[in-house]
Amino acid sequence: MPGVVKGPQTLYDKVFNDHVVHEQEGGTCVLYIDRHLVHEVTSPQAFEGLRNAGRKVRRPDNTLVTTDHNVPTSTRKNFKNVSDFVKEDDSRTQCETLEQNVKDFKLTYFGLGDKRQGIVHIIGPEQGFTLPGTTVVCGDSHTSTHGAFGALAFGIGTSEVEHVLATQTLLSSKSKNMRVQVDGELAPGVSSKDIVLYVIGKIGTAGGTGHVIEFCGSAIRSLSMEARMSICNMSIEGGARAGMVAPDEITFEYLKGKPLAPKVDSPEWNKAIKYWSSLRTDEGAKFDVDIFIDAKDIEPTVSWGTSPQDVIGITGVVPGPDDFDDDNKKKACERALTYMGLTAGTKMTDIVLDKVFIGSCTNARIEDLRIAAHIVKGKKAAPNLKRVMIVPGSGLVKKQAESEGLDKIFEDAGFEWREAGCSMCLGMNPDILSPGERCASTSNRNFEGRQGAGGRTHLMSPAMAAAAALSGKLADVRDLAGYEQALPSAKSASNRIESPTSQLDEPESDVDLDNVLDLPEQGQGNTVKSSAPSSSGSGLPKFTQLKGVAAPLDRSNVDTDAIIPKQFLKTIKRSGLSAGLFHAWRFNEDGTKNADFVLNKEPYTNSKILVVSGPNFGCGSSREHAPWALLDFGIKCIIASSFGDIFFNNTFKNGMLPLRVADEAKLRKIYGEAEAGRELEVDLENNVVKDAQGNVLADFEVDGFKKHCLVNGLDEIGLTMQKDDYITKFERRRTEETPWLDGSGYLSRHRTGPVKVDAAPVPKTNRGEEKAEPLEW
Ligand SMILES: CC(C)[C@H](C(=O)O)[C@@H](O)C(=O)O
Ligand code: SF4
């Protein structure tokens, strides 16, 4: 059976195995994708790729599009269209490009004129687009959010967005299993955000690399779906591409009445419940890593530094380099303190703030807003704060909050009540921090410059952010009278947004609905005409040997925000991105080059290779702009002890080689050569790194299939399309076994029923059970 583990299986094993279309020797699988979410930042180049190759979107009915990152959160009262509404040229171009693509490829779209618009990870669950046991992807690292439903959900780069649009599959190999078990009762004032910050503090931002985390234990089971989503959302901050929670009654209750979930009590619903109930880890299943946490050890937790692992309980003090053993960590701590303008030993509650942001895909759901409103009711924002923003995660969250009067509570307290979008989580729209400003934020990343160049972020829960807004400093929510009632107990956690059924037939869309269908024409998909030839197996320049200058970079945990900050993500092209490479490090504030940064020094201005001293290079965001920027600069190979999973994957798609050298001594030797300004040679055919004289410095391993593609310059989409028969067969079976996954259920006036695939009946086995022949790539 392809990809199937013999014996007891984990939740992840089950969902993965159920989606294997085909497995080839070496473990690379064609994995079927049930749900594809698309937004404006990571899709333009993917649609362009489809157009250039004359390819179609294979399953428009399983694709849902919205705009969230670039959108202003100012009032939409006078909204007519994005062209007039979005004032920044590059943001507007991205929004307009998305709408053109939606029209051309006939996709379901929630634009700014539609109440269902919102952050992509909020709208999927809200609509029932996210369902247990599905595979969910998006060109966005926080796709891990959807794992809260027992879905296998992970972020992908733009090349993979194109791959999914074209084939409804991805090429993937099995990850390892990691279990994070949190048992016991949470102390009053402690919420799911504190759990996940605490976990990341324990395992580190690379702790989950190469793994899928299953969150379990009594503390997790007691949480609402909203709270579970906040936890899975931040799995990526713990290095894991995906986090999962086994679906249960709380999950099923949440899904009842959601527009795209099967209709409650219908035969489909009953069948679905039976299947969903089987999605739990078998007794005795093996985890590669096990972490046990006692819920009572967790206190309200906040971040002090510039990595999500830099966290501490609110009663603690800012740590200093002496608190760490590891050299890389000492250096990182020093850097973080300088950036954050903090002194070791300062009490966390003495840290004075400039702004508070309650929003993002981590914490902008209705439950989050209810908690924050409960804390601030009848009180006022501290006078020292320049701004307190509440940004609901979606139009529906906003509507629901307004129906409960939460907007009034916030406005009476002096907070701003905004429209839905990503907003100050990363500031691709006008909501940003000014240099040096300090913000209490319910978002997920505290990277340098994340909320605005020079801005300083402290991560925390909505309850803690609300408390901070009242005191003007970081604050302990437990010092406020009545705080216990703000945080919902598990029993009261049925915060379902009533399904806006009327909107199904009458969406308030700003796109011409006659051009927006939700179904492919009888399995044809929607093609945009192009004179270019369709699929072929080749496409990228070949990578065999690479000889050149290697630049030493003395950093650890380099996130992709640092490799290329958000302002450079507004392009709709893949080229010209070197201008943004390491922007905050390479350039001074006045735009001149920082003479101290390695890539500005000779001979490194011509580097072809980057050697990084610390681990976890390319962690965080899924932006493929990071490898594009490196490549545009001339860097084709990065050598480090470890990499963020999504970045690692993205580099291969661009004919680049991320090279893992785990052996510390060997990496130090390579780094030494780079420091001395000597050339290196990376010989992929023989799997070795050599110095300029040809002496071998290290050997390395690369996945066989990935190497094959690099050495031969193969295009994975073309290769996968050659396996169309297998994909079609899988889809037929999917229609038989999980019919609720066909068709998206929107715009019923256009619907004639579920997607019909003229399938010969297939035997009722678990999907994926059929033995496939190895792919001959
Ligand atoms: C724009 C997108 C690629 C990015 C991500 O992948 O996470 C963004 O959502 C972020 O949070 O940095
Ligand atoms: S992390 Fe922030 S920017 Fe990224 S999807 Fe979530 S809200 Fe948007």
* 557-611 residue pLDDT tens: 999 999 999 999 999 999 999 999 999 999 999 999 999 999 999 999 999 999 9
In this structure, what DSSP letter does residue 317 have?
Answer: B
pLDDT digits (tens, 9 = 90+) for 285-332: 999 999 999 999 999 999 999 999 999 999 999 999 999 999 999 999
| Of 565 and 775, more confident | 565
* Confidence band of 746 (pLDDT split at 50, 70, 90): low
Sign of CA dihedral 228, 230, 235, 241: positive
611-624 residue pLDDT tens: 999 999 999 999 99
Q: What is the CA(621)–ligand 1 centre distance, in A? A: 5
Give the single-character DSSP code of 282: P
- Mean pLDDT, residues 71-91 taken together: 96
DSSP 8-state code for residue 580: G
Cβ-based neighbour number of residue 263 at 10 Å? 12
* pLDDT confidence bin for 715, thresholds 50/70/90: confident
Q: For residue 668, which of 742, 613, 750, 747 has the smallest C-alpha distance?
A: 613
pLDDT in tens, 622-672: 999 999 999 999 999 999 999 999 999 999 999 999 999 999 999 999 999
Q: Are 568 and 580 in contact (CB under 8 A)?
A: yes
pLDDT category of residue 239 using cuts at 50, 70 and 90: very high
Is 769 a residue whose pLDDT tops 60? no
> What percent of the chain shows pLDDT beyond 70?
88
Burial class (CB in 10 A: 0-12, 13-18, 19+), 180: buried
Q: Which residue has the higher pLDDT, 748 or 461?
A: 461
164: left (phi over 0), alpha (psi -120 to 50) or beta: alpha
**Would you say the CB of residue 674 lies under 6 angstroms from ligand 1?**
no
Peptide bond into 603 cis (omega under 30): yes
The secondary element (H helix, E strand) that includes residue 109 is strand 108-110
- Confidence (pLDDT) at 396: 97
| CA 458 from centroid of its chain's CA atoms | 20
Confidence of residue 532 (pLDDT cuts 50, 70, 90): very low
**143, 422, 442, 619: residue to mutate for ligand 2 pocket, most atoms within 8 A of CB:** 422
CA–centroid distance for 141 within its chain? 2
Pairing label, strands 609-612, 545-553: parallel
Q: Is the CB of 621 under 6 A from ligand 1?
A: yes
Cα distance between the two ends of the chain: 20
Q: Mean of the pLDDT values across residues 162-184?
A: 98
Burial label for 384, CB within 10 Å (0-12, 13-18, 19+), is: exposed
Amino acid found at 46: A
The verdict on the CB of residue 632 being under 6 Å from ligand 1 is no
Average pLDDT of the segment spanning 434-438? 98
Average pLDDT of the segment spanning 46-62: 95
CB 120 within 8 Å of CB 66 = yes
pLDDT category at 25 given cuts 50, 70, 90 is confident
Instruction: Express each pLDDT in 471-507 by its tens digit.
Output: 999 999 999 998 988 886 544 444 445 444 334 333 4
Q: Ligand 2: residues whose CB is within 6 Å? A: 68-69, 119, 140, 142, 360-361, 422, 425-426, 443-444
How many angstroms is it from 570 CA to the middle of ligand 2?
A: 15
The whole-number pLDDT of residue 538 equals: 56
pLDDT of res. 373: 98
Residue 532: other Cβ atoms inside 10 A: 10
Q: What is the rounded average pLDDT of the residues 465-473?
A: 98
| C-alpha of residue 622 to centroid of ligand 1, in Å | 6
Q: Using the mean position of ligand 1's atoms as its centre, give its distance from the Cα of residue 569 in Å.
A: 10
Tokens for 67?
């705009």
Q: Ligand 1, closest atom to CA 422?
A: 9
| DSSP alpha helix (H) spans, 258-346 | 267-277, 327-340
Q: How far apart are CA 100 and CA 109, in angstroms?
A: 11
DSSP at 281: P
Structure-token pair, residue 578: 């070197």
Ligand nearest to the CA of 420: 2
Tell me the C-alpha distance between 450 and 422, whole Å: 12
User: In the prediction, which pLDDT does 250 show?
Assistant: 98
Please work out whether the CB of residue 497 comes within 6 Å of at least one atom of ligand 1. Answer: no
Please name which ligand lies nearest the alpha carbon of 429: 2
Where does the pLDDT of residue 540 fall: very low under 50, low under 70, confident under 90, or very high at 90 and above?
confident
Q: Give 247's strand partners.
A: none
Q: Which value, in Å, is the radius of gyration of the alpha carbons in the chain?
A: 25
For residue 69, report the distance from its CA to the centre of ligand 1, in Å.
Answer: 8
Question: What is the Cα–Cα distance from 50 to 342, expressed in whole angstroms?
Answer: 48
Q: What is the mean pLDDT of residues 252-259?
A: 96
State the ligand closest to the CA atom of 69: 2
Banded pLDDT at 244 (limits 50, 70, 90) = very high
Instruction: Give pLDDT tens digits for 672-695.
Output: 999 999 999 999 999 999 999 999
Does the pLDDT at position 518 exceed 60?
no
d(CA 232, CA 213): 9
380-414 tens-digit pLDDT: 999 999 999 999 999 999 999 999 999 999 999 99
Give me the pLDDT at residue 267, please: 94
- The pLDDT tens digits of the residues spanning 134-157 come to 999 999 999 999 999 999 999 999
pLDDT recorded at residue 33: 98
* Mutual angle of helices 120-127 and 395-403, in 10-degree steps: 70
Q: Which token pair is 525?
A: 């998909």
98 alpha carbon, distance to own chain's centre: 19
Ligand nearest the Cα of residue 138 is 1
What values do phi and psi take at 308, rounded to 5? -65, -10
Mean pLDDT, residues 220-248 taken together: 98
- Judged by its nearest atom, the ligand closest to the C-alpha of residue 626 is 1
Q: What is the predicted pLDDT for the residue at 318?
A: 98
Q: Can you tell me the mean pLDDT for 123-131? A: 97
Do 597 and 586 form a contact (C-beta atoms < 8 A)? Answer: yes
Whether 622 is in the pocket of ligand 1, judged by its Cβ within 6 Å, is: yes
**Percentage of the residues of the chain whose pLDDT score is greater than 90:** 86
- Residue 758 CA, ligand 2 centroid: distance in Å: 40
Given a cut of 80, is residue 5 above it in pLDDT?
Answer: no
**Cβ atoms < 10 Å from Cβ of 205:** 24
Sign for the pseudo-dihedral over CA of 666, 669, 629, 446: positive
Q: Answer for the pair 32, 391: CB distance below 8 angstroms, yes or no.
A: no
- The HSE-up count of residue 695 (CA atoms within 13 Å, CB side) is 8
- Taking alpha carbons only, the member of 107, 106, 84 closest to residue 95 is 84
Gap from CA of 140 to ligand 1 centroid (Å): 5
Q: How far apart are CA 650 and CA 658, in angstroms?
A: 10
Which atom belonging to ligand 1 lies closest to the Cα atom of 624? 3
Q: Give the pLDDT of residue 775.
A: 41
Residue among 42, 39, 29 at smallest CA distance from 2:
29
Tokens describing residue 272 = 């679905």
How much distance in Å is there from the Cα of 496 to the middle of ligand 2?
22
- Cα 504 to averaged position of ligand 2 atoms, centre (Å): 26
User: What distance in angstroms lies between residue 242's CA and the mean position of ligand 1's atoms?
Assistant: 15
pLDDT of residue 760: 34
Amino acid identity at 200: I
Q: Which residues of 556-572 are buried (b: 16+ CB within 10 A; e: fewer)?
A: bbbbbbbbbbbbbbbbb
What integer pLDDT is reported at residue 486 of this predicted model? 85
Of residues 743 and 126, more confidently modeled: 126
Is the beta carbon of 650 within 6 A of some atom in ligand 1?
Answer: no
- State residue 152 phi and psi, 5-degree precision: -95, 100
Q: What is the pLDDT of residues 329-376, one digit of tens each?
A: 999 999 999 999 999 999 999 999 999 999 999 999 999 999 999 999
Please determine, for residue 79, whether its predicted confidence score (pLDDT) is greater than 90.
yes
Average pLDDT, the chain: 90
pLDDT at 766 over 80: no
Q: What is the pLDDT of residue 241?
A: 94
Task: Name the residue at shortest CA distance from atom 3 of ligand 1.
Answer: 623
Question: pTM of the entire structure?
Answer: 0.93
Q: Which ligand is nearest to the CA of 421?
A: 2
Q: 448 with 303: CB under 8 angstroms? A: no
- DSSP letter for 593, please: B
In the prediction, which pLDDT does 503 show?
A: 41
* Backbone φ, ψ for residue 137 (5° rounding): -135, 165
E-only strand ranges, 429-537: 438-441, 456-459, 526-527
Q: What is the DSSP string of 357-388?
A: EE-TTTS-SHHHHHHHHHHHTT----TT-SEE
Which of the 8 DSSP states describes residue 578?
A: G
- Residue 579 CA to residue 94 CA, distance in Å, equals 19
